[in-house]
Amino acid sequence: MTPEFVVSLAKNAMETTLMICAPMLGTGLAVGLLVSIFQTITSIQEMTLTFVPKIVFVFLAVIYFFPWMLQYMVDFTTRIIVSIPHVIH
């Protein structure tokens, strides 16, 4: 196992993690921004108003993007398993 392989594996693992998290983080960011704008316009400062929509929309994003996320994780895992003989050799 070469240092280049370890660095490449770590890079691919971090990239996979970021790609899988991106839809939920982006959805939470967008909904949080919209709720903040709404609160600023209406002068409503209710704390639950910030959390409940985020939770609902992030959950919906998980449901919507789950097939893609699962396929991305399966592809990553397959690449890792296929590379085992090259690591052992």
Report whether pLDDT(89) > 80.
Answer: no
Q: Where are the domains of the chain?
A: 3-88
| C-alpha span between 8 and 31 (Å, rounded) | 34
CA dihedral 32, 33, 37, 40 (to 10 degrees): 60
pTM over 0.75: yes
Average the pLDDT over 69-80 and give the result. 95
Comparison of pLDDT for 88 and 67, the residue scoring more: 67
b/e sequence 58-67, b meaning 16+ C-beta within 10 Å: beebeeebee
Q: How confident is the model at residue 3, as a pLDDT?
A: 85
Count CA atoms closer than 13 A to 8's CA, side-chain side. Answer: 10
Report whether pLDDT(79) > 90.
Answer: yes
Show the DSSP H helices in 43-83 as ranges: 48-82
Residue 75 identity: D
Q: How confident is the model at residue 26, as a pLDDT?
A: 96
Percent of the chain with pLDDT over 70: 100
DSSP designation for 76? H
Kindly indicate the confidence band of residue 45, based on its pLDDT and cuts at 50, 70 and 90. Answer: confident
